[in-house]
Homo-oligomer: A and B are copies of this chain.
């Protein structure tokens, strides 16, 4: 039996490692093709590599190619899989260094090709100094660029104000660059509701990040060497020594599409609850794969390392005769921008309206510790619940130290189908260094209950 893995990052190597835990080398041969030179690294850690907070890129590597090989996984670096033939059950991989193609048969195939940062089809978008951040190579390129031009390149423009955009803005503030963020929306972070996005907006301004909202990028102006020198927008030109694209990612689904594997409505590879594709014993996991949103009941595409690891593990089980399902997602995400922490889970107002749900919401302000405890910080919690059933639909949190991970209580409550009435009663941990006596999440639930009763 032979398992072939396409893509040697989080999802692919989780699958390979899990399969190896279940099957010896005599029972199962495992080959993993990786386009780049690293395996199993934390792509989510790249902003901290760029900021310099993580000094050594090897620290981002959870397991090196050598470690995987020592466990009997035949890792082939710098190999680009250029074709999958689902009839002959083979893949064709190009050895980038040797410049030749190899064809390898498979019994089980795991597609874990990841995603690519969206590069807008605008003049100059491919100029030097315009960076997307998705792979280790991307991160190293930007870090080295910044190091090389440390004296001269002081002005950074980040295009797009989602998670990656904000994390990269933070990274470049940490490197003491002047940072401008450009976004076409009225507020940063459209995964939050506008009222919460407004708080993020104010927070970013407070930490010296110049946020240009409702601003559309029209081109990237370059100098004679082909290096970016300004971001041209409908609100004027912004001088830029370096540009980072934070416009989201697109699933690398072409390989699968070309092989006749079904692509879902989100543009990612369609999967069932076992992470199986439309072709028998061909699996997909991670940033190339579509998943299921438990609250919308619809396919969802959320590229996130935590899902990639879970899905990879499940594929490793199922590709070796096991039977595990991926439970889907509810859109939980957290991030840190300088001293601010932001979290969200479930449905935003916008999403709840789109689903035609009848809901109420409330927003409260509290503190991360008892009000009198040293280091206490403000926290704002918004919660949504369905009218009638009372079930929690979503929550959003903005605060400082100790704020973001509190979203997990709401995420667990939503997963379990709890109502806001249930949440009010939860026996959560309380001590002055960690919470006000009414946990902020419970206070938000109380307020929503009151709204439901109005």
Say whether, besides A44-B437, A437-B44, A428 and B411 are in contact (CB < 8 Å). Answer: yes
Q: Which of B48, B307, B425 contacts A432 (CB 8 A)?
A: B48
How many A residues are at the interface, by size bracket? 35 or more
Contacts of A426 in B (CB 8 A): 408, 411-412, 415
A336 (CB) vs chain B CBs: closest residue: B433
Q: State the CA gap A226–B331 with chains docked (Å).
A: 64
A434 (CB) vs chain B CBs: closest residue: B405
> Which stretch, A98-106, A247-255, A366-374, touches the partner chain B?
A366-374
| Cβ-defined contact, A415 with B437, below 8 A | no
| Cβ-defined contact, A425 with B310, below 8 A | yes
A441 (CB) vs chain B CBs: closest residue: B408
| Cβ-defined contact, B425 with A327, below 8 A | yes
User: Does A409 lie at the interface of the complex (its beta carbon under 8 Å from any beta carbon of B)?
Assistant: yes
A334 (CB) vs chain B CBs: closest residue: B429
Say whether, besides A42-B370, A53-B373, A54-B373, A336 and B429 are in contact (CB < 8 Å). Answer: no
| Cβ-defined contact, B405 with A435, below 8 A | yes
| Cβ-defined contact, B432 with A44, below 8 A | yes
| Cβ-defined contact, B437 with A42, below 8 A | yes
Contacts of A371 in B (CB 8 A): 59, 62
User: Does A422 lie at the interface of the complex (its beta carbon under 8 Å from any beta carbon of B)?
Assistant: yes
Contacts of A305 in B (CB 8 A): 430, 437
Q: Mark A431-454, 1 if CB is under 8 A from B, else 0.
A: 111110111000000000000000
User: Does A304 lie at the interface of the complex (its beta carbon under 8 Å from any beta carbon of B)?
Assistant: yes
Q: State the CA gap A53–B373 with chains docked (Å).
A: 7
User: Does A15 lie at the interface of the complex (its beta carbon under 8 Å from any beta carbon of B)?
Assistant: no
Q: State the CA gap A402–B433 with chains docked (Å).
A: 11
User: Does A111 lie at the interface of the complex (its beta carbon under 8 Å from any beta carbon of B)?
Assistant: no
Contacts of A328 in B (CB 8 A): 425, 427
| Cβ-defined contact, B372 with A60, below 8 A | yes
| Cβ-defined contact, A309 with B437, below 8 A | yes
| Cβ-defined contact, A370 with B336, below 8 A | no
Q: Mark A317-341, 1 if CB is under 8 A from B, else 0.
A: 0000000001111111111100001
User: Does A413 lie at the interface of the complex (its beta carbon under 8 Å from any beta carbon of B)?
Assistant: yes
Q: Which of B372, B415, B429 contacts A411 (CB 8 A)?
A: B429
User: Does A179 lie at the interface of the complex (its beta carbon under 8 Å from any beta carbon of B)?
Assistant: no
A306 (CB) vs chain B CBs: closest residue: B430
| Cβ-defined contact, A10 with B309, below 8 A | no
Q: What are the 4 A-B residue pairs with the smallest beta carbon separation, nearest first?
A: A327-B425, A416-B416, A334-B429, A306-B430
Beyond the given A44-B437, A328-B425, please list 5 additional residue pairs across the A-B interface where CB-CB is below 8 A. A44-B430, A45-B373, A163-B431, A408-B409, A408-B429
Listed by A's residue number, 29 A-B pairs whose Cβ atoms lie within 8 Å are: A44-B430, A45-B372, A54-B373, A54-B374, A59-B371, A326-B425, A327-B422, A327-B425, A331-B427, A332-B430, A333-B429, A334-B430, A336-B434, A341-B434, A345-B429, A404-B429, A404-B431, A406-B408, A408-B408, A408-B409, A408-B439, A409-B412, A412-B413, A412-B416, A413-B416, A415-B422, A415-B425, A416-B416, A416-B418
